[in-house]
Amino acid sequence: MASSSRIDAPKRRRVSRESSASTVDFEDAISSSESGEDVDSSDFSTDDEDASSQSATSDRVSTFHGHDSLPASVKRAQFLPRRNPGVKVGDALRSDARRFVRVVDFFQLFFTTQAISMICDFTNKYAWMHILERGRRTRKETIMPRSRFFAFLAFLSVMDPEQTDPLYDGKLHRIANLLQHINDVSSQLFQPYRNMCVAERMVKSKGRSGIRQYMRDKGVKWGYKLWVLADSRTGYTVQFGVYIGKREAPSSKQAQQIEVLKGHIEDEIKQHEKLIKQHQDEIERHKKKIRDLKEH
């Protein structure tokens, strides 16, 4: 019995060593998986976390050949907007801090005095184009009849009648100027955060129009369909475009989304094109210097 117990003792020790080694390997696997998850989750970090970890992660990278340094062109791009993200109504607040207490106050941010004056000028211009064809009335009336009011309403124009181009602007040629004005003001009043999205939006309407859409799966089934470039954090609409149908709109859904993005990033694209052109010119100058050195 004593000999058998002595023989079994090394086996037990061996089993215990193997179990401890397996637990160590298991713990190492867990720690490595957790570190992998931490690395994966870093892709979804916030702007503050990106800024704090920029110096630690952008300079060093782990590869199959060891730790190498990343070139400047491969480093993760920082989010550096021209303005701080958020609402930008400083000028309006400085003029009157008690102004934003009614719904009409926010409406007037978009329909400014300049926009209203523009609509009045275009309406008068459009009306005079028809009045001159019929002649003028010399009698003055103190009360406006209902028919005259609807006549003014019929001549309401938000676009210069001499500058409208149905071939270029399509079905929206009579309101293209107003849509561009609202998009410009919307971009000025808010600086979006880093993450943005392009989505569909329905504006409820019962009017008779050829661009009115029916969406069976939407909460608003009848109305105007918009392609919206919105801020993911606040839902603010930075840019939007009106869907006018398959015949006049771009062929694919992706192409329609790109059209909405163009209005917001057109200036940034021009700046990048200038930088690329400068780099290309610099490369050509260096190539010319190298050829001159080889010839001499």
Looking at the fold, whether 187 and 199 belong to one and the same domain comes out as: no
Angle between helices 103-110 and 176-188 (to 10 degrees): 110
Do 178 and 89 reside in the same domain of the chain?
yes
| Domain that residue 244 falls in | 194-263
Is 49 contained in some domain?
Answer: no
pLDDT in tens, the chain (296 residues): 444 444 454 444 444 444 444 444 434 444 444 444 444 444 444 444 444 444 444 445 555 455 556 556 555 667 777 788 887 777 666 666 566 778 888 888 888 888 888 888 888 888 887 776 666 565 666 778 888 888 888 888 887 777 777 777 677 778 888 888 888 888 888 888 888 888 888 888 887 777 888 888 778 888 888 888 888 888 888 888 888 876 555 544 555 555 556 555 565 555 556 656 666 777 887 788 787 777 76
For residues 106 and 129, membership in a common domain is answered with yes
Coil, strand, or helix at residue 204?
A: strand
Say how many residues make up the chain.
296
Closest alpha carbon to 227 in 171, 269, 179: 179
Where is the domain boundary, 162, 191, 220?
Answer: 191
Report which secondary-structure segment, H or E, holds 10.
helix 2-41
pLDDT at 263: 56
Is 209 in the same domain as 154? Answer: no
Whether the Cβ atoms of residue 53 and residue 45 lie closer than 8 Å to each other: yes
Q: Which residues contact 209 (CB under 8 A, 6 or more apart)?
A: 224
Instruction: For residue 31, give both structure tokens.
Output: 């720690």
Number of independent structural domains in the chain: 3
Q: Compute the radius of gyration of the chain from its Cα atoms.
A: 33
pLDDT at site 31: 44
Residues 92 and 113 in one domain: yes
Q: Are both 126 and 214 inside the same structural domain?
A: no
The dihedrals phi and psi of 216, each to the nearest 5 degrees, come to: -70, -35
Element holding 49 (H helix, E strand): helix 47-57
Q: Against a cut of 0.85, is the pTM above it?
A: no
> Is residue 77 a part of any domain in this protein?
no
Q: Is residue 50 domain-resident? A: no
pLDDT per residue over 199-232, tens digit each? 888 888 887 777 888 888 778 888 888 888 888 8
Residue 230: C-alpha distances to residues 93, 107, 271, 289 (Å): 24, 19, 23, 48
